[in-house]
Amino acid sequence: MKKCGCFEKNQWYELEKIVGSEYVITDQSEKDVQSIDVWWMTRYCFFQQENFPQPSVIVFPENTDQVRKIVQFCLIHKIHYLARGGGAGDGGGSIPLKGGLVIDLKRMDKIIELNERSLTVRVQAGILQKHLEEFLNRKGYTMNHFPASFNTSALGGFISTNGTGVLSSKYGKISDMVHQLEVVLPNGNLFKSLPVRLHSTGPDYSRLFFGAEGTFGIITEALCKIHYLPEKRSFRAFLLSNLQKGIEAGRQIMVKGLNPCLLRLYDEYDTRHILQKQYGLEKEGCVLIIGFDGMKKIVEAQEEVAYSILEQNEGEDLGEKLAVNWWDNRYRSYYPPLDYICEPWMTAVMDTVAPYEKIETIYWEMKKGVEEGFKSWNAIFHAHFSHWYDWGTSFYPTFLLKDFPSNPHEAIRLYNQILDICVQASIQNGGVVNEHHGIGMRFNRFMKDVSEENYQFSQIIKKALDPESLLNPGKLGLGE
């Protein structure tokens, strides 16, 4: 694509005819915003005033038909494009790597239908999760999807990364919460999956778009499962002497089918960093916060058995106060002024998931790789285990360097060296590249390492759907 010629006045007019002149934006400030996310790399390069890919134009459609026309426009003029929701990803998944056009879906925030018999809600994909949840709460319902970027991310973004919220141990990932998808394909055609997810009427093709990060199509609408607001939701904290005891206690709770809505285990450093500094805990060890919700009698029965398991694993009951305080303020650590991105530090999250027999090895290999391998930089590693299943769990590791090279090329090399150590520790010990933040640009180079078969299959799908690689190129390691 040419840098200037693609958007001559007649082509601007074509876009304006689709969405209206006020929704075709070329302001430099908007281009800057659309060129960064929460990824350390985008912010670092931006503030270093390094050259970084930017779109030529941002378009704000309000419905699926307008998205289809914009996609057809890009196909005719051979313009690279991508869809963007809240822009709160941390891997460069919504960065316009080859410039071109950004389709910003924030105007597509409508609630189309609330079905109070089957307990579903049909919504446009640009709606912020916070706004969807507030609407449902007013009606007596909840979606129970509460990720850290709850306040800033759109539903379509969560679907595109197959995101996970803090209550996933009971309610699952976003792919467990969506019955039906509407997607604009790269050829401009509309795909709509069958109205139910569990069937034997051919493959469920909607699954192609969960975790595809907007490379196979643009999600415009979703039919989501909802729940009644719980009669009771309780939280309690326990202190374990070490990480191994905490993981084992959590495993026993999950494999025995106790169905906690929340299970969150902090390692020793995270316990100090978060629960001591932010919540006033005065004890050392690993804190596990557990929660149950639903009908009062069922919750109380689940609590009784789960608390007994924790006590059998030498867990010290810290009571409800700390846990309820955490729940009420659960987003605090991820926003200013407490989030690491507010500081001039180097940091990244490398969340992964693995079976129970693998997960602790991955943790210790990552920790060793960071703290010993980069000791000269006083590298810090800490983690919490936050999404549990009856077969395994995930953890959310963070590395932090408060001092790093002033030379941008040396800094970026160091950043990638640390990522290499952490991701390879996961892959080589039975884990995956990422659990819920996505691949984007940050983890591109690992996709072939984790599974050659999956990598080749994704290339086949991409070539079939988007043979010219115009849609969100350079993501998922597809190599366009």
Q: How many CB atoms are closer than 10 A to CB 444?
A: 18
Tens of pLDDT, residues 90-126: 999 999 999 999 999 999 999 999 999 999 999 999 9
Residues 328 and 346 in one domain: no
Amino acid at 87: G
471 pLDDT above the threshold of 70: yes
User: Where does the pLDDT of residue 479 fall: very low under 50, low under 70, confident under 90, or very high at 90 and above?
Assistant: low
| DSSP secondary structure string for all residues of 411-453 | HHHHHHHHHHHHHHHHHTTT--S-SSS--TTTTGGGHHHH-HH
CATH number for the domain spanning 69: value is: 3.30.43.10
- Characterise 450 by phi-psi region: left (phi > 0), alpha (psi -120 to 50), beta (else): alpha
Residues 118 and 220 in one domain: yes
Given a contact cutoff of 8 angstroms between Cβ atoms, the answer to whether 269 and 275 are in contact is: no
**What confidence score (pLDDT) does residue 468 get?**
94
Out of 228, 255, 276, pick the residue that ends a domain.
228
Cα 198 from Cα 189, distance rounded (Å): 24
Residues 319 and 399 in one domain: no
Task: Taking residues 63-78, report their average pLDDT.
Answer: 97
CATH number for the domain spanning 395: value is: 3.30.300.330
User: What ranges make up the beta strands (E) of 3-119?
Assistant: 24-25, 57-59, 81-84, 101-104, 111-115
Residues 401 and 421 in one domain: yes
Residues 297 and 368 in one domain: no
Task: Taking residues 367-372, report their average pLDDT.
Answer: 98
Task: Taking residues 291-301, report their average pLDDT.
Answer: 98
Query: How many domains, the chain?
Result: 5
Lowest mean pLDDT among 26-35, 282-291, 409-418: 26-35
| DSSP secondary structure string for all residues of 402-414 | SS--SSHHHHHHH
Q: Which residues make Cβ contacts (< 8 Å) with residue 171, sequence separation at least 6?
A: 144, 145, 165, 177, 227, 261
Q: What percent of the chain has pLDDT over 70?
A: 98
Residues 320 and 361 in one domain: no
Specify the pTM.
Answer: 0.94
Residues 147 and 192 in one domain: yes
Out of 334, 360, 384, pick the residue that ends a domain.
334
Number of residues in the chain: 480
Residues 67 and 9 in one domain: yes
**What confidence score (pLDDT) does residue 336 get?**
86
CATH number for the domain spanning 204: value is: 3.30.465.10
Residues 132 and 221 in one domain: yes
CATH number for the domain spanning 296: value is: 3.30.70.3450
Out of 83, 106, 129, pick the residue that ends a domain.
106
Domain carrying residue 416: 340-438
Residues 26 and 97 in one domain: yes
Cα 59 from Cα 216, distance rounded (Å): 19
Residues 252 and 360 in one domain: no
- Characterise 373 by phi-psi region: left (phi > 0), alpha (psi -120 to 50), beta (else): alpha
**What confidence score (pLDDT) does residue 1 get?**
37
Residues 179 and 272 in one domain: no
Cα 135 from Cα 109, distance rounded (Å): 12
Task: Taking residues 150-174, report their average pLDDT.
Answer: 96
Q: How many CB atoms are closer than 10 A to CB 260?
A: 23
Cα 240 from Cα 236, distance rounded (Å): 13
